[in-house]
Amino acid sequence: MPQIVTEEDANREARRRWVADSVDEIAQRTKVAMKERGLTFPIFFLVPTSGAALVTIGTNYEPDPTDEEWDAASAIAVKAVEEVLGLDKLVSRSIACAVAQPSQTEDATNATA
């Protein structure tokens, strides 16, 4: 899961608010570009309230996209943020991510316990 960050610190809070206000447009541009590239998995956008990131993207798609697919989707999302905000030189950096999803077997066992 990558974060999209800018090295410039001075306007980060204002830019983050701008991303939050524009997240639907960013997602739409990303969706169109991903479809054009043949990438069919969904991604979501999270706008943090603090830290270095303007936005974080992720997916809960199963099976996981390949590294090449994820790199392409990340580059598309960066470009969409740059276009909507009128910025350039944004970068994507990886962060750790995990999903906690109980299996149906666990659900059935817990329901009868």
When mean pLDDT is compared across 37-41, 94-98, 107-111, the lowest value belongs to 107-111
Does the pLDDT value for residue 106 go beyond 60?
Answer: no
Query: What would the pLDDT profile of 36-85 be if each residue is shown by its tens digit?
Result: 999 999 999 999 988 888 999 999 888 889 999 999 999 999 999 999 99
Which position has the higher pLDDT, 10 or 95?
95
Range of the domain at 87: 2-112
* Residue 10 DSSP code: T
Report DSSP letters for 85-104, one per residue: HT----EEEE---------H
Q: What is the pLDDT of residue 113?
A: 47
What pLDDT does residue 111 have? 53
Q: How many folded domains does the chain comprise? A: 1
